[in-house]
Amino acid sequence: MFGVVPKVLWSRWSEPDAKNLCTWAMRCLLIEEGDRLILVDCGIGNKQSEKFFKYFEPHGEDDLVNSLKMKGFHPDDVTDVLLTHLHFDHCGGAVYRDSDGVSRSQFKNAKYWSHEEHWNNAMEPNPREKASFLKENFLPIKENGQLNFLNNGQDLIPGVSVQTVSGHTECMMLPHIQYKGKTLVYMADLLPSAAHIPLPYVMAYDVQPLETMKEKQHFLELAEKENHVLFFEHDKEIECCTTKKTEKGIRLDQTFPLLELS
C-alpha cells in the first residue's frame, strides 16, 4: 500500500499485524439530490470464493445493502452508481449472485457509470492489473443494459462532476461534489488514505507511479488553494480532511467525519 516507502515510516500511520496486513476501509458515498440517489463505489461485495477472501481477510459488521437500509433506503431506490474504477474492491458490490448462481445487478433500477477508456482497459487488462479486474463484477452491468459512460469534466448531475487520473489505473474517475458551499472530492485510489498525502507515498499497485506523483502534486496544490475537502475511501479512521502548506509540502490539516462538515 505504500510502495517503496520503508515500513519503519509507513507503519507509524498504519500498524500491520503478524501477517503484515493492515486494516483498510471500503467507504462508499451516497448522494441524495432531488429525485436522484447516487452511490459512489460499491466495495468488495460477497460473491467471491472463500479462497479469494482469505487473501484479504475482510471483517467487520458493515455491509453495503444493510448500510443503505440504515439510512432508510432500499437498493431499488438507487438511481445511479458511479464506479470510480473497476478494481474488485471498488465494484464487487455492484453485482450479486442469487441462490441459483446467476449474477445480477445489485441496483436493478440504476444507471451504472464508468469511463469508456477505463472500461475497455478492464475488458482487455494488462498483466499487472489482470487479477484486479474480475469480469463477473461488471460484465452483468453491460448485459443488463445499465452501462453508461462519463468523460473527464462531465457533470453527472449539476454539482457532481468527475476528474480522471491515470497513475493508479487508466482513467480512474474522482467525483467532485458541491456540498455546503465547498468542493468535496472522493479520492478513490489517488489518495487511498490521509497517510498517502506525502508525494512519495504511492501504492505498489499503481501502474504508473511517477504519473501518480505528478497527479497528486497537481491535485494537492489546487485542493490547498481552493480549500477542497478530501473524502477518503480506504482510511479506516479518517473520513475527511483539509490540507495546508508546510515546509515539507502540502500536509494534512483538519480531520472530521463528513456529517460534521459545515
All structural domains of the chain with their residue ranges: 7-260
The pTM of this model reads: 0.96
Query: And the C-alpha cell for 232?
Result: 477518503
For the chain, list residues with pLDDT below 70.
none
- Which superfamily does CATH assign the domain made up of 7-260 to? Ribonuclease Z/Hydroxyacylglutathione hydrolase-like (3.60.15.10)
> What is residue 113's predicted lDDT score, i.e. its pLDDT?
98
Tell me the C-alpha distance between 261 and 29, whole Å. Answer: 14
Tell me the C-alpha distance between 84 and 224, whole Å. Answer: 22
> What is residue 143's predicted lDDT score, i.e. its pLDDT?
95
Q: Kind and range of the H or E element at 54?
A: helix 50-54
Picking from 137, 151, 142, 160, the residue whose alpha carbon sits closest to that of residue 29 is 160
Tell me the C-alpha distance between 53 and 58, whole Å. Answer: 7
Q: Which residues pair with 240 in a beta bridge?
A: 231, 256
